[in-house]
Amino acid sequence: MKSRRDVFQAIADPTRRVILTLLAVQALTPGAIADNFKSSRQTVSKHIQILTECELLKQEQNGREIYYQINAKKMKEVAEFIEPFRKMWDDRFNKLESIMKKYKPK
Amino acid sequence: MELKTKISAEDGKQELVITREFELPLELLFTAYVEPDIVEQWMGTKVLKLESKMHGGYQFETSDAKGNVVFRANGVIHEFISNKKITRTFEMENTPFPVQLEFLEFEKLSEDTSKLTMHIVYRSLAFRDQMLQMPFRQGINMAHNKLQEVVTKLI
């Protein structure tokens, strides 16, 4: 259960990536999302469920229909997931630079 | 402040490219990768072995204040061209991460500036993404350990 709710595993799946891309353009009903895939509605619905559990999608009731849309806040977090890694290397390289500026060849 | 280090991690590709421009002549940048005592300083790890030559090996180890080993990594150097290129493997010991392949390219930009391009290839996309998340979890741990160190010294 824990691993399935891992947001990075959620976006690692190609079908779920397509769903996110579709919903980036407009909010859609589960049926309209499923129309874009050859797989069964059940399968697509499972993918939607996982994305919703990861808070990447938000539901909105519109009359009788449920519309899914992207949770922009969560998506932004995912886009920024590379930042701590980049910061780690930047810190290392800054250190390298300052050490080598003072370096005297042996 | 804008970070000088750029990372490109394309969707669906099990690799990433780290680039950085240094205010250092090319030779000095390269030296920082070759001299063990200098690598120790900027990587923040002990260098047990560093054979900077074709088919050479290297081994890093980091211990906490109590002397417990918290990190060990090793690899072999496949290609070594001074001031130009290092191709090597990198593997963290006692972790689920498989070995990764690293292409390091060193370039002269001007007399006093140079550029490093680090191209890393992972075994799978999932491992790449997990590796990218490492500092998240590790950062929290490291901050915690640091705190513990400071507190221990106070007592």
pLDDT in tens, chain B (155 residues): 678 999 888 878 899 999 999 999 999 999 999 999 999 999 989 999 999 999 999 999 998 888 888 889 999 999 999 999 999 999 999 888 899 999 999 999 999 999 999 999 999 988 888 888 776 555 445 545 555 555 555 55
A48 CA to centre of own chain:
13
Task: Measure the CA–CA gap between B109 and B146, rounded to whole angstroms.
Answer: 38
Task: Report residue A2's pLDDT band, with 50, 70 and 90 as the boundaries.
Answer: very low
The Cα B138–Cα A84 span in angstroms is 10
- Separation between Cα atoms, residue B120 and residue A23, nearest integer Å: 32
pLDDT of B140 reads 46
Instruction: Please return the burial class of A102, using the count of CB atoms within 10 Å of its CB with bins 0-12, 13-18 and 19+.
Output: exposed
**Which amino acid would we find at residue A75?**
M
Longest dimension (CA), chain B: 52
**Edge-first strand listing for the sheet containing B46-50:** B5-8, B15-22, B114-121, B100-108, B85-92, B69-81, B57-63, B46-50
Choose among B32, B116, B134: nearest Cβ to A99: B32
pLDDT value for B97: 87
Between the CA of residue B40 and those of A85, A103, B14, B54, B146, what are the distances in Å?
19, 14, 28, 21, 19
pLDDT at A22: 84
**Residue of chain A with shortest Cα separation from B45:** A92
pTM value? 0.67
pLDDT for the residue A3: 43
Rounded to an integer, what distance in angstroms lies between the CA atom of residue A77 and that of residue A25? 19
Pair of tokens at residue B131: 């590796």
- Nearest-Cα distance to chain B for A103, in Å, is 8
**Considering only CA atoms, which of B24, B46, B15 is closest in space to residue B108?**
B24
- Hey, what amino acid is at B150? V
Q: What is the pLDDT of residue A13?
A: 75
DSSP helix/strand/coil, B89: strand
- Among candidate residues B62, B30, B66, B33, the one with its CA nearest the CA of residue B50: B33
| Amino acid B137: pLDDT | 53
Q: What pLDDT sits at residue B100?
A: 97
Say what the pLDDT of residue B1 is: 61
What three-state secondary structure class fits B69?
strand
Task: With CB atoms and an 8 Å threshold, state whether B3 touches A90.
Answer: yes
**Which residues in B lie closer than 8 A to residue A90 (C-beta atoms)?**
3-5, 20
What is the SS3 assignment for A68? Answer: strand
A76 vs A51 pLDDT, higher one: A51
CA nearest B97: which of B68, B129, B49, B62? B129
For A71, the token pair is 């949770």
The first and second tokens of residue B114, run together, are 């140079």
The pLDDT value given to residue B138: 53
Strand ranges (E), chain B: 5-8, 15-22, 46-50, 57-63, 69-81, 85-92, 100-108, 114-121
pLDDT higher than 80, residue A77: no
The per-residue pLDDT for B136 is 58
Q: In angstroms, rounded to a whole number, what is the distance separating the alpha carbons of residues B81 and B77?
A: 11
Distance CA B15, CA B93 (A): 20
Tell whether the model's pLDDT for residue A4 goes beyond 50. Answer: no
Higher per-residue pLDDT: A49 or B142: A49
Q: Do A100 and B136 touch (CB under 8 A)?
A: no
Query: Cβ separation of B7 and A101 shorter than 8 Å?
Result: no
Is the Cβ pair B135, A87 closer than 8 Å?
Answer: yes
Q: What is the mean pLDDT of residues A91-95?
A: 94
